[in-house]
Amino acid sequence: MNAAATTAPTAPGQVIVIGAGIVGVSCALYLQRDGHSVTLLDPRGAGNGASFGNAGNLGWASCVPAAMPGVLKKVPQMLFDSNGPLKLHWGHVPAAAGWFARFIAAARPSRIEEIADARQALLSRLHEGYAPLIEDAGAEELIDYSGLLMTWESDEAFAGSQYALDIRRRRGVAMEVLDGNEARQMEPALTPSVKHAVHFPRLAHVTDPGRLTETLARHFERRGGRFLREAARGFEMGPNGPVAVKTDSGRHAADRFVVAAGVWSKTLARQLGTSTPIEAERGYHTVFTDPGISLRAAIMSADRYIAVTQMDMGVRATGVAEFAHPDQPADMRYAEMVQRRAMDFLPGLRAESRTQWMGPRPSHPDSLPVIGRSPRFANVVFAYGHDHIGLALGGISGRLVADIVAGRPSLVDLTPYRPDRF
């Protein structure tokens, strides 16, 4: 098959978006705003993958990549401590080995700075990406602007985080350094053992991430978009690329295709001739639905590897990175581990009434998503691999995908996110 043409189609046409997580739904809405006739495919409905149960942070301060020198030093301890946050099943080691080799390669200082720049280029536009979608759908009440507090319980851990804080500072992220008492004045629910904290005043969070995705998807349908609860199984190929998506129920023809199926994009991209090293970094949550406390800001405990957020349905604690097949059954012992950590961290939390969940973060080893035209087919655009920041980046990813399809100049330089970089 021929290489991707350099000129993009510009006239509105028929577009199929595969995957109705926050990324796919945002793509569908932006494409619809450009006048395309859009079909969204997802067997599970909207917002039921990773986009359902995440920590909700619109992490403007999340430019620091996962592969950092400090993290690499801690990996063995994190892996072998049964209460550690990192889980890798022996059976999954061969599948994940290549990923970890690339992860280690991404921890070079020069590469860390490049990755942080590329993450920040997207994160700094997150509100610009969401504003038109959220306003149009009337979903403003799902965004809470109460800031984020990051905490440390030892001088040593705080000292070890200075490089990561400096990476943020150098990219203009506003922050205020607090001691433990100042942190507890801001958030009285914190354990007395918090010694240091950093407050990020400009950070917002979504108070029900699943509902945000669903609200946007309903808005897409109200505006005439077609949403089919079907799984893409493969593509029917024409001389210049795909001409239809095959599902269990039949075939759906279109002239452009967007693959935005989170971690499951790996198989679909491969069918279209592009291999991408995505792994499922499965995270867990416990929602305390009758928590006994209410939080004033979103919180991240650097020592306990958990995020705790006040949501509409209660207080949600999230954590754990379990490398496993995304469809393998969840191991809810990890949700219980997150629960115990949250209860030690916020002693007033009540756990009598709670829910648990697991969802797969779609993670590339270089902590960057793929956002770009398929290297092989000019009528295919990829948008996947948003790891820990996909909720934050949904809106802006949708905007960038619509610009690619329309052939408009991009708001940001897309080179760092190109699909063939691996």
Ligand X SMILES: Cc1cc2nc3c(=O)[nH]c(=O)nc-3n(C[C@H](O)[C@H](O)[C@H](O)COP(=O)(O)OP(=O)(O)OC[C@H]3O[C@@H](n4cnc5c(N)ncnc54)[C@H](O)[C@@H]3O)c2cc1C
Kindly list the residues in this chain that would bind ligand X in the complex (CB under 6 A): 18-24, 41-44, 48-51, 54-57, 59, 231-232, 260-262, 264, 283, 285, 318, 359, 361-362, 384, 386-392
Residue 178 or 217: the one with the smaller Cβ distance to ligand X is 217
Nearest to ligand X of 179, 312 (CB atom): 312
For ligand X, give the closer residue by CB, 167 or 180: 167
Tell me the closest approach of the beta carbon of residue 59 to ligand X, in angstroms.
5
Smallest distance from the beta carbon of 8 to ligand X, in angstroms? 23
Q: How far is the CB of 395 from ligand X (least distance, A)?
A: 11
Residues 22/361, Cβ–Cβ less than 8 Å = no
41 or 86: CB nearest ligand X: 41
Question: What tokens does 123 get?
Answer: 């994160």
Helix (H), strand (E), coil (C) string for the chain: CCCCCCCCCCCCCEEEEECCCHHHHHHHHHHHHCCCEEEEECCCCCCCCHHHHCCCEECCCCCCCCCCHHHHHHHHHHHHCCCCCEEECHHHHHHHHHHHHHHHHCCCHHHHHHHHHHHHHHHCCHHHHHHHHHHHHCCHHHEECCCEEEEECCHHHHHHCHHHHHHHHCCCCCCEEEEHHHHHHHCCCCCCCCCEEEEECCCEEECCHHHHHHHHHHHHHHCCCEEECCCEEEEEEECCEEEEEEECCEEEECCEEEECCHHHHHHHHHHCCCCCCCEEEEEEEEEECCCCCCCCCEEEECCCCEEEEEECCEEEEEEEEEECCCCCCCCCHHHHHHHHHHHHHCCCCCCCCEEEEEEEEEECCCCCCEEEECCCCCCEEEEECCHHHHHHHHHHHHHHHHHHHHCCCCCCCCHHHCCCCC
Q: In angstroms, what is the minimal distance from the CB of 280 to ligand X?
A: 9
| CB-side neighbour CA atoms (13 Å) of 257 | 29
> CB 49 → ligand X: shortest distance, Å?
2
User: Nearer Cβ to ligand X, position 68 or 228?
Assistant: 228
Q: How far is the CB of 358 from ligand X (least distance, A)?
A: 8
* CB 109, min distance to ligand X, A: 25
Cβ at position 206, least distance to ligand X in Å: 8
Would you say 167 or 260 has its CB closer to ligand X? 260
- If the CB atoms of residues 180 and 278 are measured against ligand X, the closer one turns out to be 278
Q: Which is nearer to ligand X, 180 or 307 (CB)?
A: 307
State which residue, 168 or 180, has the beta carbon closest to ligand X: 168
Cα 369 to the chain's mean position, in Å? 9
Least CB distance to ligand X at residue 213 (A) = 7
